[in-house]
Structure 1
Amino acid sequence: MMRTILYLPLVLLAACGGEPLPENTVASNAAEPALPDMPPDPPMPGPQPEADIPGISAEPHAQPVTPAQTMAEEPGPAVAAAVTQRYFDRIAAGKADAAWELWDDDGRASGMTRRAFADSFKRYATYRATVGTPGPMEAGAGQRHVTIPVEISGTLRDDTPFAMAGTVTLHRTGVIDGATAAQRQWRISSADLTPRPVAVPPPTATARYACADGAQIDATFDNVAGTASLRHGEQTLGTLRQQPAGSGIRYAGDGIELRGKGDDATITLPGQPPLTCTASR
Protein backbone atom coordinates (compact mmCIF):
# COMPACT_ATOMS: atom_id res chain seq x y z
CA MET A 1 0.00 0.00 0.00
CA MET A 2 2.80 2.46 0.88
CA ARG A 3 4.49 1.73 -2.46
CA THR A 4 1.38 2.72 -4.40
CA ILE A 5 0.95 6.02 -2.58
CA LEU A 6 4.56 7.05 -3.23
CA TYR A 7 4.17 6.32 -6.96
CA LEU A 8 1.18 8.64 -7.59
CA PRO A 9 3.02 11.93 -6.85
CA LEU A 10 5.69 10.95 -9.33
CA VAL A 11 3.10 10.47 -12.07
CA LEU A 12 1.44 13.82 -11.29
CA LEU A 13 4.79 15.56 -11.30
CA ALA A 14 5.60 14.23 -14.73
CA ALA A 15 2.21 15.35 -16.13
CA CYS A 16 2.71 18.88 -14.77
CA GLY A 17 6.00 19.37 -16.55
CA GLY A 18 8.36 18.23 -13.92
CA GLU A 19 9.66 15.54 -16.24
CA PRO A 20 9.31 15.20 -20.03
CA LEU A 21 6.56 12.87 -21.14
CA PRO A 22 7.53 9.65 -22.73
CA GLU A 23 7.55 9.62 -26.55
CA ASN A 24 4.15 8.94 -28.22
CA THR A 25 2.30 10.07 -25.04
CA VAL A 26 -0.50 12.70 -25.44
CA ALA A 27 -1.65 14.85 -22.54
CA SER A 28 -5.41 15.23 -22.59
CA ASN A 29 -5.35 18.77 -21.14
CA ALA A 30 -2.63 20.20 -23.43
CA ALA A 31 -3.83 23.11 -25.67
CA GLU A 32 -3.33 22.74 -29.44
CA PRO A 33 -1.15 25.48 -31.01
CA ALA A 34 -3.09 28.14 -33.06
CA LEU A 35 -2.81 27.77 -36.86
CA PRO A 36 -2.19 30.81 -39.05
CA ASP A 37 -4.95 31.85 -41.52
CA MET A 38 -4.47 29.95 -44.75
CA PRO A 39 -5.85 30.77 -48.21
CA PRO A 40 -8.48 28.36 -49.57
CA ASP A 41 -7.21 25.39 -51.50
CA PRO A 42 -6.97 26.07 -55.27
CA PRO A 43 -9.45 24.14 -57.44
CA MET A 44 -8.35 20.72 -58.51
CA PRO A 45 -7.48 20.37 -62.19
CA GLY A 46 -10.12 18.86 -64.46
CA PRO A 47 -13.93 19.33 -64.66
CA GLN A 48 -15.47 21.06 -61.66
CA PRO A 49 -18.76 19.94 -60.08
CA GLU A 50 -21.86 21.76 -61.37
CA ALA A 51 -23.22 24.56 -59.20
CA ASP A 52 -26.47 24.01 -57.37
CA ILE A 53 -29.56 24.93 -59.41
CA PRO A 54 -31.99 27.06 -57.38
CA GLY A 55 -35.27 25.26 -56.88
CA ILE A 56 -33.92 21.91 -58.11
CA SER A 57 -30.65 20.89 -56.43
CA ALA A 58 -30.55 23.77 -53.93
CA GLU A 59 -32.86 26.02 -52.02
CA PRO A 60 -34.89 28.46 -54.19
CA HIS A 61 -33.12 31.73 -54.86
CA ALA A 62 -34.22 34.70 -52.81
CA GLN A 63 -35.15 36.47 -56.09
CA PRO A 64 -36.35 33.77 -58.51
CA VAL A 65 -36.52 34.36 -62.25
CA THR A 66 -39.77 36.09 -63.13
CA PRO A 67 -42.16 34.89 -65.88
CA ALA A 68 -41.37 38.07 -67.82
CA GLN A 69 -37.70 37.08 -67.91
CA THR A 70 -38.59 33.53 -68.87
CA MET A 71 -40.75 34.77 -71.79
CA ALA A 72 -38.30 37.42 -72.98
CA GLU A 73 -37.16 35.50 -76.07
CA GLU A 74 -40.39 33.63 -76.83
CA PRO A 75 -42.68 34.53 -79.77
CA GLY A 76 -44.80 37.36 -78.41
CA PRO A 77 -48.13 39.07 -79.16
CA ALA A 78 -46.92 40.45 -82.53
CA VAL A 79 -46.40 36.91 -83.81
CA ALA A 80 -49.83 35.92 -82.48
CA ALA A 81 -51.38 38.84 -84.42
CA ALA A 82 -49.58 37.70 -87.59
CA VAL A 83 -51.04 34.20 -87.19
CA THR A 84 -54.50 35.73 -86.72
CA GLN A 85 -54.11 37.81 -89.89
CA ARG A 86 -52.97 34.73 -91.82
CA TYR A 87 -56.04 32.86 -90.55
CA PHE A 88 -58.50 35.46 -91.84
CA ASP A 89 -56.56 35.94 -95.07
CA ARG A 90 -57.04 32.23 -95.81
CA ILE A 91 -60.77 32.51 -95.18
CA ALA A 92 -61.02 35.59 -97.43
CA ALA A 93 -59.17 33.69 -100.17
CA GLY A 94 -61.66 30.81 -100.01
CA LYS A 95 -59.20 28.52 -98.23
CA ALA A 96 -61.14 27.85 -95.05
CA ASP A 97 -59.84 24.28 -94.93
CA ALA A 98 -56.30 25.69 -94.60
CA ALA A 99 -57.50 28.21 -92.00
CA TRP A 100 -58.80 25.29 -89.91
CA GLU A 101 -55.17 24.15 -89.48
CA LEU A 102 -54.44 27.31 -87.47
CA TRP A 103 -56.78 26.19 -84.69
CA ASP A 104 -55.24 24.70 -81.57
CA ASP A 105 -55.05 20.98 -80.88
CA ASP A 106 -54.62 20.13 -84.58
CA GLY A 107 -57.85 21.92 -85.49
CA ARG A 108 -59.97 20.23 -82.85
CA ALA A 109 -60.23 23.44 -80.78
CA SER A 110 -62.58 24.77 -83.50
CA GLY A 111 -65.15 22.18 -82.43
CA MET A 112 -65.59 21.11 -86.07
CA THR A 113 -64.02 18.74 -88.53
CA ARG A 114 -61.98 20.23 -91.34
CA ARG A 115 -64.77 19.62 -93.87
CA ALA A 116 -67.56 20.98 -91.66
CA PHE A 117 -65.46 24.05 -90.91
CA ALA A 118 -64.83 24.73 -94.61
CA ASP A 119 -68.50 24.19 -95.49
CA SER A 120 -69.58 26.76 -92.89
CA PHE A 121 -67.87 29.53 -94.89
CA LYS A 122 -69.42 28.71 -98.25
CA ARG A 123 -72.30 31.12 -97.59
CA TYR A 124 -69.98 34.13 -97.73
CA ALA A 125 -69.33 35.93 -101.02
CA THR A 126 -66.82 38.37 -99.53
CA TYR A 127 -65.08 38.24 -96.17
CA ARG A 128 -62.81 40.94 -94.75
CA ALA A 129 -61.20 41.14 -91.32
CA THR A 130 -59.40 43.94 -89.52
CA VAL A 131 -57.06 42.61 -86.84
CA GLY A 132 -56.51 45.02 -83.97
CA THR A 133 -53.69 45.51 -81.49
CA PRO A 134 -53.04 42.38 -79.42
CA GLY A 135 -53.24 42.48 -75.66
CA PRO A 136 -50.37 41.46 -73.35
CA MET A 137 -49.17 37.88 -73.26
CA GLU A 138 -50.50 36.08 -70.19
CA ALA A 139 -48.58 33.19 -68.65
CA GLY A 140 -49.40 30.43 -66.22
CA ALA A 141 -48.36 26.80 -65.67
CA GLY A 142 -46.11 26.92 -68.71
CA GLN A 143 -48.92 28.11 -71.00
CA ARG A 144 -49.23 31.39 -72.92
CA HIS A 145 -52.36 33.24 -74.07
CA VAL A 146 -52.99 36.40 -76.11
CA THR A 147 -56.36 38.01 -76.89
CA ILE A 148 -56.76 40.10 -80.06
CA PRO A 149 -59.72 42.30 -81.13
CA VAL A 150 -61.14 41.66 -84.60
CA GLU A 151 -63.74 43.34 -86.80
CA ILE A 152 -65.24 41.43 -89.75
CA SER A 153 -67.44 42.57 -92.62
CA GLY A 154 -68.51 41.35 -96.03
CA THR A 155 -71.46 40.01 -97.99
CA LEU A 156 -73.33 36.75 -98.18
CA ARG A 157 -74.03 34.89 -101.42
CA ASP A 158 -77.31 36.75 -101.78
CA ASP A 159 -75.46 40.11 -101.48
CA THR A 160 -76.72 40.69 -97.94
CA PRO A 161 -74.09 42.61 -96.00
CA PHE A 162 -72.94 41.35 -92.62
CA ALA A 163 -70.66 42.55 -89.84
CA MET A 164 -69.20 40.94 -86.71
CA ALA A 165 -66.85 42.06 -83.98
CA GLY A 166 -65.23 40.50 -80.95
CA THR A 167 -62.01 38.82 -79.92
CA VAL A 168 -59.85 35.87 -80.89
CA THR A 169 -57.67 34.16 -78.28
CA LEU A 170 -54.49 32.34 -79.20
CA HIS A 171 -52.56 29.78 -77.15
CA ARG A 172 -49.12 28.25 -77.15
CA THR A 173 -46.98 26.23 -74.76
CA GLY A 174 -43.90 27.88 -73.29
CA VAL A 175 -40.37 26.54 -73.59
CA ILE A 176 -40.75 23.72 -71.10
CA ASP A 177 -39.56 20.14 -70.98
CA GLY A 178 -41.62 17.85 -73.18
CA ALA A 179 -43.21 20.59 -75.31
CA THR A 180 -43.02 19.86 -79.03
CA ALA A 181 -42.22 22.45 -81.70
CA ALA A 182 -45.86 22.39 -82.83
CA GLN A 183 -47.12 23.03 -79.29
CA ARG A 184 -44.85 26.09 -79.00
CA GLN A 185 -46.52 27.76 -82.01
CA TRP A 186 -49.40 30.23 -81.65
CA ARG A 187 -52.74 28.67 -82.52
CA ILE A 188 -56.34 29.88 -82.11
CA SER A 189 -57.95 28.43 -79.01
CA SER A 190 -61.26 30.32 -79.05
CA ALA A 191 -63.18 33.05 -80.89
CA ASP A 192 -65.89 35.28 -79.47
CA LEU A 193 -67.44 37.09 -82.45
CA THR A 194 -70.96 38.49 -82.39
CA PRO A 195 -73.03 40.01 -85.22
CA ARG A 196 -73.22 43.78 -85.43
CA PRO A 197 -75.84 45.95 -87.13
CA VAL A 198 -74.97 46.81 -90.70
CA ALA A 199 -75.70 50.31 -91.97
CA VAL A 200 -77.24 49.88 -95.42
CA PRO A 201 -76.54 52.95 -97.56
CA PRO A 202 -79.33 54.41 -99.68
CA PRO A 203 -79.26 53.62 -103.42
CA THR A 204 -78.05 57.14 -104.22
CA ALA A 205 -76.62 60.08 -102.31
CA THR A 206 -75.38 63.57 -103.19
CA ALA A 207 -72.80 65.93 -101.73
CA ARG A 208 -71.59 69.44 -102.57
CA TYR A 209 -67.92 70.13 -101.95
CA ALA A 210 -66.61 73.64 -101.31
CA CYS A 211 -62.95 73.67 -102.35
CA ALA A 212 -60.04 75.85 -101.30
CA ASP A 213 -59.85 77.65 -104.69
CA GLY A 214 -63.46 78.78 -104.36
CA ALA A 215 -64.89 76.16 -106.71
CA GLN A 216 -67.96 74.11 -105.83
CA ILE A 217 -68.12 70.52 -107.06
CA ASP A 218 -71.27 68.41 -106.86
CA ALA A 219 -71.02 64.64 -106.52
CA THR A 220 -73.77 62.07 -107.12
CA PHE A 221 -73.00 58.65 -105.60
CA ASP A 222 -74.64 55.52 -107.01
CA ASN A 223 -74.21 53.00 -104.20
CA VAL A 224 -75.65 50.17 -106.28
CA ALA A 225 -73.34 50.65 -109.26
CA GLY A 226 -70.44 51.83 -107.11
CA THR A 227 -69.86 55.06 -109.07
CA ALA A 228 -69.62 58.79 -108.41
CA SER A 229 -70.43 61.49 -111.02
CA LEU A 230 -68.78 64.90 -110.53
CA ARG A 231 -70.12 68.19 -111.90
CA HIS A 232 -68.82 71.76 -111.75
CA GLY A 233 -71.78 74.04 -112.45
CA GLU A 234 -73.28 72.78 -115.72
CA GLN A 235 -70.10 70.95 -116.71
CA THR A 236 -69.79 67.20 -116.14
CA LEU A 237 -66.26 66.46 -115.00
CA GLY A 238 -66.43 62.68 -115.19
CA THR A 239 -67.76 59.44 -113.80
CA LEU A 240 -65.54 57.70 -111.26
CA ARG A 241 -65.63 54.10 -110.02
CA GLN A 242 -65.32 53.09 -106.39
CA GLN A 243 -61.84 51.89 -105.37
CA PRO A 244 -60.60 49.92 -102.34
CA ALA A 245 -59.82 52.20 -99.42
CA GLY A 246 -58.42 51.52 -95.98
CA SER A 247 -60.91 53.98 -94.51
CA GLY A 248 -63.29 56.57 -95.93
CA ILE A 249 -64.06 56.63 -99.68
CA ARG A 250 -62.01 56.60 -102.84
CA TYR A 251 -63.25 56.96 -106.43
CA ALA A 252 -61.16 57.26 -109.59
CA GLY A 253 -61.72 57.51 -113.34
CA ASP A 254 -61.37 59.84 -116.35
CA GLY A 255 -58.10 61.11 -114.84
CA ILE A 256 -59.94 62.32 -111.72
CA GLU A 257 -59.65 61.06 -108.15
CA LEU A 258 -61.90 61.71 -105.16
CA ARG A 259 -60.78 60.75 -101.67
CA GLY A 260 -62.80 61.52 -98.58
CA LYS A 261 -63.39 60.75 -94.93
CA GLY A 262 -66.28 62.32 -93.13
CA ASP A 263 -66.82 65.84 -94.47
CA ASP A 264 -63.21 66.27 -95.63
CA ALA A 265 -62.23 65.40 -99.18
CA THR A 266 -59.43 65.81 -101.71
CA ILE A 267 -60.31 66.12 -105.39
CA THR A 268 -57.61 65.85 -108.03
CA LEU A 269 -58.47 67.01 -111.58
CA PRO A 270 -56.36 66.26 -114.67
CA GLY A 271 -53.19 68.34 -114.75
CA GLN A 272 -53.99 70.17 -111.52
CA PRO A 273 -52.74 69.86 -107.94
CA PRO A 274 -55.08 68.22 -105.42
CA LEU A 275 -57.87 70.45 -104.09
CA THR A 276 -58.76 70.44 -100.42
CA CYS A 277 -62.55 70.44 -100.14
CA THR A 278 -65.23 70.22 -97.46
CA ALA A 279 -68.70 68.77 -97.88
CA SER A 280 -71.38 71.37 -97.18
CA ARG A 281 -74.66 70.43 -95.56
Structure 2
Amino acid sequence: MTQFRFAFLLACAAALSACGGDKSRAPGASGDDTEALPAPAGARGSVTGMPDEPGPGVVGPPKPEETVALDAEGNPVLPAEDPLAATAAPVDPNAPPTDIATNEPTVDDAVAVIRDYYAAINRRDFAQAYALWSDGGRSSNQTPEQFAAGFADTTGVSVEIMAPGRVDAAAGSRYVEIPVALTATHADGRQQRFVGAYTLRRAVVDGATADQRAWRIGTADIREVAP
Protein backbone atom coordinates (compact mmCIF):
# COMPACT_ATOMS: atom_id res chain seq x y z
CA MET A 1 0.00 0.00 0.00
CA THR A 2 2.79 2.31 0.78
CA GLN A 3 4.38 1.60 -2.59
CA PHE A 4 1.10 2.45 -4.34
CA ARG A 5 0.89 5.94 -2.66
CA PHE A 6 4.46 6.71 -3.57
CA ALA A 7 3.84 5.80 -7.22
CA PHE A 8 0.70 7.98 -7.28
CA LEU A 9 2.52 11.05 -5.89
CA LEU A 10 5.37 10.52 -8.37
CA ALA A 11 2.90 10.50 -11.27
CA CYS A 12 1.29 13.78 -10.12
CA ALA A 13 4.65 15.48 -9.79
CA ALA A 14 5.58 14.41 -13.29
CA ALA A 15 2.31 15.81 -14.60
CA LEU A 16 2.85 19.16 -12.84
CA SER A 17 6.37 19.42 -14.22
CA ALA A 18 5.06 18.87 -17.73
CA CYS A 19 2.49 21.68 -17.30
CA GLY A 20 4.93 24.15 -15.82
CA GLY A 21 7.65 23.56 -18.39
CA ASP A 22 5.53 24.35 -21.47
CA LYS A 23 7.17 27.27 -23.25
CA SER A 24 4.53 27.52 -26.00
CA ARG A 25 2.24 29.81 -24.04
CA ALA A 26 1.28 33.05 -25.71
CA PRO A 27 3.17 36.11 -24.62
CA GLY A 28 1.37 38.08 -21.97
CA ALA A 29 -0.18 35.11 -20.27
CA SER A 30 -0.15 35.22 -16.48
CA GLY A 31 2.97 34.03 -14.84
CA ASP A 32 6.24 35.28 -13.47
CA ASP A 33 8.22 34.26 -16.55
CA THR A 34 6.37 36.54 -19.00
CA GLU A 35 8.07 39.67 -20.38
CA ALA A 36 6.31 43.04 -19.99
CA LEU A 37 5.26 44.83 -23.19
CA PRO A 38 7.37 47.92 -24.00
CA ALA A 39 5.75 51.14 -22.84
CA PRO A 40 5.19 53.81 -25.56
CA ALA A 41 7.75 56.62 -25.60
CA GLY A 42 6.46 59.76 -23.97
CA ALA A 43 5.56 62.57 -26.36
CA ARG A 44 4.60 66.24 -25.80
CA GLY A 45 1.14 67.12 -26.93
CA SER A 46 -2.11 65.29 -27.34
CA VAL A 47 -2.75 62.38 -29.66
CA THR A 48 -4.45 64.78 -32.09
CA GLY A 49 -1.19 66.64 -32.68
CA MET A 50 -2.50 69.90 -31.23
CA PRO A 51 -0.12 71.89 -29.00
CA ASP A 52 -0.43 71.80 -25.25
CA GLU A 53 -0.81 75.63 -25.06
CA PRO A 54 -3.05 77.86 -27.15
CA GLY A 55 -1.51 80.09 -29.78
CA PRO A 56 -1.92 83.87 -30.13
CA GLY A 57 -5.37 85.36 -30.21
CA VAL A 58 -8.49 85.25 -28.09
CA VAL A 59 -8.99 81.98 -26.24
CA GLY A 60 -12.51 80.73 -25.97
CA PRO A 61 -15.52 79.99 -28.14
CA PRO A 62 -15.93 82.16 -31.25
CA LYS A 63 -18.07 85.26 -30.94
CA PRO A 64 -21.33 85.31 -32.91
CA GLU A 65 -21.05 87.18 -36.21
CA GLU A 66 -22.53 90.65 -36.39
CA THR A 67 -25.86 90.75 -38.14
CA VAL A 68 -27.04 93.51 -40.46
CA ALA A 69 -30.52 94.88 -39.85
CA LEU A 70 -32.79 94.75 -42.89
CA ASP A 71 -35.90 96.76 -43.69
CA ALA A 72 -39.22 95.33 -44.85
CA GLU A 73 -37.91 95.08 -48.43
CA GLY A 74 -34.72 93.27 -47.46
CA ASN A 75 -32.40 96.27 -47.88
CA PRO A 76 -29.69 96.90 -45.26
CA VAL A 77 -30.54 99.62 -42.77
CA LEU A 78 -27.66 102.07 -42.44
CA PRO A 79 -26.84 103.54 -39.02
CA ALA A 80 -28.20 107.01 -38.37
CA GLU A 81 -25.70 109.80 -39.04
CA ASP A 82 -24.50 112.06 -36.29
CA PRO A 83 -26.48 115.30 -36.76
CA LEU A 84 -23.52 117.32 -35.52
CA ALA A 85 -21.18 115.72 -38.07
CA ALA A 86 -23.64 116.44 -40.88
CA THR A 87 -23.77 120.13 -40.06
CA ALA A 88 -21.81 122.07 -42.67
CA ALA A 89 -19.27 124.61 -41.53
CA PRO A 90 -20.19 128.23 -42.24
CA VAL A 91 -18.78 129.65 -45.48
CA ASP A 92 -16.83 132.88 -45.40
CA PRO A 93 -18.21 135.03 -48.26
CA ASN A 94 -14.96 137.05 -48.32
CA ALA A 95 -12.70 134.02 -48.74
CA PRO A 96 -10.98 133.77 -52.14
CA PRO A 97 -12.31 131.13 -54.55
CA THR A 98 -10.42 127.88 -54.34
CA ASP A 99 -10.07 124.63 -56.21
CA ILE A 100 -11.85 122.01 -54.08
CA ALA A 101 -9.48 119.25 -55.23
CA THR A 102 -6.30 121.12 -54.30
CA ASN A 103 -7.65 123.81 -51.94
CA GLU A 104 -5.67 126.38 -53.96
CA PRO A 105 -6.85 129.23 -56.21
CA THR A 106 -7.01 128.35 -59.90
CA VAL A 107 -6.30 130.25 -63.13
CA ASP A 108 -10.05 130.83 -63.45
CA ASP A 109 -9.91 132.59 -60.11
CA ALA A 110 -7.20 134.87 -61.49
CA VAL A 111 -9.40 135.74 -64.47
CA ALA A 112 -12.26 136.47 -62.06
CA VAL A 113 -10.07 139.02 -60.27
CA ILE A 114 -9.75 141.07 -63.49
CA ARG A 115 -13.52 140.91 -64.04
CA ASP A 116 -14.14 142.01 -60.45
CA TYR A 117 -11.57 144.78 -60.84
CA TYR A 118 -13.37 146.46 -63.72
CA ALA A 119 -16.81 145.74 -62.24
CA ALA A 120 -15.72 147.72 -59.16
CA ILE A 121 -14.40 150.56 -61.33
CA ASN A 122 -17.65 150.76 -63.30
CA ARG A 123 -19.68 151.08 -60.12
CA ARG A 124 -17.13 153.60 -58.89
CA ASP A 125 -16.11 151.47 -55.93
CA PHE A 126 -12.47 152.51 -56.26
CA ALA A 127 -11.54 151.28 -52.78
CA GLN A 128 -12.54 147.74 -53.75
CA ALA A 129 -10.68 147.98 -57.06
CA TYR A 130 -7.58 149.33 -55.31
CA ALA A 131 -7.66 146.40 -52.84
CA LEU A 132 -7.38 143.91 -55.72
CA TRP A 133 -3.80 145.04 -56.26
CA SER A 134 -1.29 143.06 -54.22
CA ASP A 135 0.35 144.37 -51.06
CA GLY A 136 -2.86 146.06 -50.03
CA GLY A 137 -3.02 148.11 -53.24
CA ARG A 138 0.50 149.50 -52.97
CA SER A 139 1.64 147.47 -56.01
CA SER A 140 -0.31 149.99 -58.14
CA ASN A 141 2.38 152.55 -57.18
CA GLN A 142 -0.40 154.95 -56.22
CA THR A 143 -2.14 156.02 -53.07
CA PRO A 144 -5.87 155.25 -52.83
CA GLU A 145 -6.58 158.92 -53.58
CA GLN A 146 -4.36 158.98 -56.66
CA PHE A 147 -5.91 155.75 -57.89
CA ALA A 148 -9.46 157.11 -57.60
CA ALA A 149 -8.48 160.42 -59.26
CA GLY A 150 -7.24 158.53 -62.31
CA PHE A 151 -10.83 157.48 -63.08
CA ALA A 152 -12.50 160.81 -62.27
CA ASP A 153 -13.33 161.44 -65.95
CA THR A 154 -14.14 157.84 -66.81
CA THR A 155 -17.80 156.84 -67.07
CA GLY A 156 -17.21 153.20 -67.88
CA VAL A 157 -14.70 150.60 -69.03
CA SER A 158 -15.45 147.52 -71.13
CA VAL A 159 -12.94 144.68 -70.93
CA GLU A 160 -12.22 141.68 -73.14
CA ILE A 161 -10.16 139.04 -71.41
CA MET A 162 -8.00 136.78 -73.58
CA ALA A 163 -6.73 133.28 -72.76
CA PRO A 164 -4.44 133.43 -69.70
CA GLY A 165 -0.88 132.19 -69.83
CA ARG A 166 0.55 129.34 -67.79
CA VAL A 167 1.20 129.65 -64.07
CA ASP A 168 4.90 130.22 -63.27
CA ALA A 169 6.65 129.79 -59.93
CA ALA A 170 9.32 131.97 -58.34
CA ALA A 171 10.53 132.54 -54.77
CA GLY A 172 7.50 131.29 -52.88
CA SER A 173 5.04 132.87 -55.30
CA ARG A 174 2.94 131.95 -58.33
CA TYR A 175 2.47 134.23 -61.34
CA VAL A 176 0.07 134.21 -64.26
CA GLU A 177 -0.30 136.72 -67.11
CA ILE A 178 -3.77 137.64 -68.36
CA PRO A 179 -4.02 139.57 -71.69
CA VAL A 180 -6.80 142.15 -72.01
CA ALA A 181 -8.30 144.64 -74.47
CA LEU A 182 -9.99 147.69 -72.92
CA THR A 183 -12.28 150.46 -74.11
CA ALA A 184 -12.62 153.42 -71.73
CA THR A 185 -15.44 155.92 -72.21
CA HIS A 186 -15.04 159.48 -70.84
CA ALA A 187 -17.58 161.99 -69.67
CA ASP A 188 -17.42 163.92 -72.98
CA GLY A 189 -18.13 160.72 -74.96
CA ARG A 190 -14.56 160.22 -76.06
CA GLN A 191 -13.28 156.65 -76.10
CA GLN A 192 -9.82 155.25 -75.71
CA ARG A 193 -8.67 151.73 -76.52
CA PHE A 194 -5.93 149.89 -74.67
CA VAL A 195 -4.30 146.48 -75.01
CA GLY A 196 -1.82 144.73 -72.79
CA ALA A 197 -1.72 142.33 -69.91
CA TYR A 198 -1.98 142.13 -66.16
CA THR A 199 0.37 139.90 -64.18
CA LEU A 200 -1.29 138.44 -61.12
CA ARG A 201 0.61 136.89 -58.26
CA ARG A 202 -0.09 135.05 -55.04
CA ALA A 203 2.04 133.69 -52.17
CA VAL A 204 2.44 129.97 -51.44
CA VAL A 205 4.83 130.11 -48.46
CA ASP A 206 3.89 128.66 -45.09
CA GLY A 207 2.26 131.22 -42.85
CA ALA A 208 0.85 133.34 -45.70
CA THR A 209 -2.54 134.88 -44.97
CA ALA A 210 -5.66 134.04 -46.96
CA ASP A 211 -5.39 137.40 -48.75
CA GLN A 212 -1.74 136.75 -49.64
CA ARG A 213 -2.62 133.31 -51.02
CA ALA A 214 -5.33 134.77 -53.24
CA TRP A 215 -4.62 136.11 -56.72
CA ARG A 216 -3.91 139.84 -56.74
CA ILE A 217 -2.73 142.22 -59.47
CA GLY A 218 1.03 142.57 -59.27
CA THR A 219 1.89 144.63 -62.37
CA ALA A 220 0.19 145.96 -65.48
CA ASP A 221 1.54 146.60 -69.00
CA ILE A 222 -1.25 148.52 -70.75
CA ARG A 223 -0.72 150.59 -73.92
CA GLU A 224 -3.13 152.87 -75.75
CA VAL A 225 -3.87 151.98 -79.38
CA ALA A 226 -5.56 153.94 -82.16
CA PRO A 227 -9.32 153.46 -82.23
Q: TM-score, normalised by structure 1?
A: 0.43
Larger relative contact order, structure 1 or 2 (CA cutoff 8 Å, min sep 6)? 2
* Structure 2 partner of 1:114: 144
Return the alpha-carbon distance in structure 1 between the equivalents of residues 156 and 211 of structure 2. 31
SS in 1 for 2:209: coil
Return the alpha-carbon distance in structure 1 between the equivalents of residues 102 and 172 of structure 2. 14
Cα drift, residue 128 of structure 1: 1.0
Structure 1 unaligned segments of length 5 or more: list them. 1-70, 199-281
SS in 2 for 1:106: helix
Cα drift, residue 125 of structure 1: 2.1
Count of aligned positions: 127
Cα drift, residue 74 of structure 1: 2.1
* 1:193 partnered with 2:189: no
Return the alpha-carbon distance in structure 1 between the equivalents of residues 190 and 174 of structure 2. 38
* Larger helix proportion of the pair: 2
* Structure 2 partner of 1:157: 187
* 1:78 partnered with 2:108: yes
Cα drift, residue 124 of structure 1: 1.0
Whether the aligned pair in 2 keeps the contact of 1:168 and 1:190 (CA below 8 Å) is yes
Change (3 A) 1:179 1:151: same
* Structure 2 partner of 1:15: none
Whether the aligned pair in 2 keeps the contact of 1:76 and 1:137 (CA below 8 Å) is no
Q: TM-score, normalised by structure 2?
A: 0.53
State the AA in 1 paired with 2:173.
Q
1:160-213 CA-to-partner distances (Å, cap 9, x unmatched) read: 111101000101001x32212221011000111100111xxxxxxxxxxxxxxx
Larger C-alpha radius of gyration, 1 or 2? 2
Structure 2 unaligned segments of length 5 or more: list them. 1-100
* Larger strand proportion of the pair: 1
* Structure 2 partner of 1:273: none
Return the alpha-carbon distance in structure 2 between the equivalents of residues 113 and 154 of structure 1. 22
Return the alpha-carbon distance in structure 2 between the equivalents of residues 126 and 186 of structure 1. 24
* Structure 1 partner of 2:153: 123
SS in 2 for 1:121: coil
